[in-house]
Amino acid sequence: MSTLAESESIVFVIDDDASIRETLKSLFESVGQQVAVFDSPSGFLQTKMPDMASCLVLDVRLRGSSGLEFQAELVKSHIKIPIIFLSGHGDIPMTVRAMKAGAVEFLTKPELFMRHLLRASRRWPGWCRLAS
């Protein structure tokens, strides 16, 4: 189990596309934000989460699972973390489902989502600490 270094806040990214993970990692690091990237929800869950403000950038379509299904698992497990969904194939019903389940943002890629993603991750100054 990995342990992440302590700091003020962290952005977690789960995306099965290595190029998207690296792009997002570089983007967040370029503005001084701590970031941890994962290729699957299981990788995220295997990491010992630090007690700090955080948010989760989550791809809707992952290999073998769905970001929406993972969101439901987090809710069922009482793990509270603001979720910003990314989708290259999003539609209105998918967006509504994510938002009703508690997502704070739903962005499409690649249409200017980088700029909006930075803004969305900073919009929640109260973020929340992971709570189970």
What confidence tens digit (pLDDT) does each residue in 3-24 have?
454 458 899 999 998 988 998 8
Phi then psi for 108, rounded to 5 degrees? -95, 145
Of the chain, the percentage scoring pLDDT greater than 90 comes to 46
**Which letter, b or e, does each residue of 45-66 get, where b requires 16 or more Cβ atoms within 10 Å of its Cβ?**
beeebbebbbbbbbbbbbeeee
What confidence tens digit (pLDDT) does each residue in 52-89 have?
889 999 999 988 889 999 999 999 988 889 999 998 87
| Per-residue pLDDT, 3 | 45
Amino acid at 121: S
Taken in order 27, 33, 37, 42, the sign of the CA dihedral is negative
Q: Does domain 31-129 have CATH number 3.40.50.2300?
A: yes
pTM above 0.85, yes or no: no
